[in-house]
Amino acid sequence: MDPLDAGRLRRLQLAGIASGFTAGAWLGAAEAPTKMVTLGLSPVVISLTMVLGVFLARWSLPALLRGTAAIGADVRQAPHLVVWAVLAGCLWSVANTLTVFAIRDIGLSIAFPLWNANSLLGIVWGAVFFNELRGATWSRRSGVLGGAVLMCAGATLLAVASAAGVPGGHAARGVTAALAAGALWGTMYIPYRKAYLTGMNPLAFVTFFSLGEVGMMTVLALADRGGVASLAAELVGAREVLFWLLLGGFVWVIGDLFQQYAAKYVGISRGIPLSNTNQLWGLVWGLLVFRELLGRGGATYGQVIGGSLLMALGAGAIALASATRPEHDRWTEAAARESRRYGIDPAYVRAGLSGGSVDAATGRRTWLDWVLVGGATGVFVAFALIARLPQLTLAWEWVAGLVIAMVALLAGTGLLLWRTTRFN
């Protein structure tokens, strides 16, 4: 396959890095609507409802941005990737459920850094399976590895600062659950990277990812609640707050879409740690909007400042260690392997890797697209109409400031992606 010219490679790397940072902002903000839920819902049901919001967003946003005709054309080029997308969705759901149990058993401060190590596992899989960091200079390898380690250290400090208290009990069980969640989330990026090296559009991949996600989450919720009747009763009883959870899922999807573009254009070894800046944004929301650390001692604020600086330094090091031509040539070799092994049209693979598309259907919208967009909007509006605003004191000036910052990132990175790749 022909190598990309240097200018094009630089623009794609920039789009990928910007996507990673924007993903962090939106993934971090996804927790905010869920904090509006003060009712005693079980964690698994909260997770299921968020995933239902994710499902609605993942079938409507791609229809709006690209159209189901283009998504169908993508799947016809590489139908085997549907299996990979569903598999990745299942991995996500099991990991997310494990984190609930890990927090219960060992507390957030110990559990979070353990599963945040998923970025280190992602670096291993990226190097072993997809030639990431191969051909890179030592300074760039050190930038990515050192940056990921710095971010893990920062995450540890932030988690300690934000922990509400360490529950007693089953330490070994909790540590195992947190490590398993990290292993699942780190491994989930194998299907991501495979799909994007093959040339699939992220907007196509996420629609099928959500089938695995919602299917597995439903099975886990049914097993946890003991059947359909009790699960349905809990959902009906909580109908006044379901909107906030669906909204959390919607915000999460916007972040995840950018995470997918980061995985596509800078690889999983850089994309995962950059997206993990979501912890920093989650803390900013908790600190400024929900005033969670009000009245805590100076040590806590020291941990917050130190942890934030470490995370920012790590993310900066990774952003500056973007892939150069020799490394990108090795990515191209990994893509050629996919083309040969699965009999994929090399022109399709080449177009995907260079941020383009061979699909002429891009841009067309059908009645199905508008049904999906209208249906999802209708569901959100219906739940919004019956939603109850909880009695919470929020710092609305900070809500406005953070929303403006998020929308600015969304618009800036969205424009950059559109100009560079036309959302391919």
Partner 1 sequence: MSRLTAMLTDPQFWVPVLVLVAGLLVLAWIR
**Quick check: 186 and 122 in contact, CB under 8 A?**
yes
- What's the rounded Cα separation, in Å, for the pair 258 and 206? 11
Q: Which of 67, 7, 82, 65 is nearest to 364 (CA)?
A: 67
Range 202-221, binding partner 1 (CB under 8 A): 220
Sole window of 93-101, 135-143, 376-384, 386-394 interacting with partner 1 (rule: CB under 8 A)? 93-101
Output 61 or 188, the one with its CB closest to partner 1. 188
Minimum distance from residue 250 beta carbon to partner 1 (Å): 26
Counting every residue written for the chain, the total comes to 424
The answer to whether 134 contacts partner 1 (rule: CB under 8 A) is no
Output 97 or 109, the one with its CB closest to partner 1. 97
* DSSP 8-state class, residue 42: -
The answer to whether 196 contacts partner 1 (rule: CB under 8 A) is no
Q: Please state, in angstroms and as integers, the Cα–Cα distance from residue 334 to each residue in 24, 281, 329, following that order.
A: 27, 34, 9
| Backbone conformation region of residue 24, classed left if phi is above 0, alpha if psi is from -120 to 50, else beta | alpha
- What's the rounded Cα separation, in Å, for the pair 143 and 327? 14
Amino acid 420 reads T
**Quick check: 282 and 158 in contact, CB under 8 A?**
no
Output 110 or 220, the one with its CB closest to partner 1. 220
Q: Of residues 66, 194, 264, 270, which one binds partner 1 by CB under 8 A?
A: 194
Q: Of residues 12, 36, 110, 180, which one binds partner 1 by CB under 8 A?
A: 180
- What's the rounded Cα separation, in Å, for the pair 368 and 69? 9
The answer to whether 132 contacts partner 1 (rule: CB under 8 A) is no
Sole window of 3-11, 81-89, 133-141, 399-407 interacting with partner 1 (rule: CB under 8 A)? 81-89
Minimum distance from residue 381 beta carbon to partner 1 (Å): 35
The answer to whether 129 contacts partner 1 (rule: CB under 8 A) is yes
Output 176 or 300, the one with its CB closest to partner 1. 176
The answer to whether 101 contacts partner 1 (rule: CB under 8 A) is yes
Minimum distance from residue 183 beta carbon to partner 1 (Å): 6
Q: Of residues 95, 108, 157, 280, which one binds partner 1 by CB under 8 A?
A: 95
Range 329-388, binding partner 1 (CB under 8 A): 341-343
Task: Report how many residues bind partner 1 under the rule CB under 8 A.
Answer: 35
**Quick check: 212 and 291 in contact, CB under 8 A?**
no
Unique residue bearing structure tokens 């909880």: 390
Output 183 or 394, the one with its CB closest to partner 1. 183
Q: Of residues 84, 250, 331, 423, which one binds partner 1 by CB under 8 A?
A: 84
User: Under DSSP, is residue 266 helix (H, G, I), strand (E, B) or coil?
Assistant: helix
Q: Which of 139, 111, 160, 99 is nearest to 299 (CA)?
A: 160
Q: Of residues 12, 69, 73, 94, which one binds partner 1 by CB under 8 A?
A: 94
Q: What is the dihedral of CA 257, 220, 212, 353, to 10 degrees?
A: 40
**Quick check: 290 and 29 in contact, CB under 8 A?**
no
The answer to whether 190 contacts partner 1 (rule: CB under 8 A) is yes
Q: Give me the residues that bind partner 1 (CB under 8 A), please.
A: 79-80, 83-84, 87-88, 90-91, 94-95, 97-98, 101, 105, 125, 129, 170, 173-174, 176-177, 180-181, 183-184, 187-188, 190-191, 194, 220, 224, 341-343
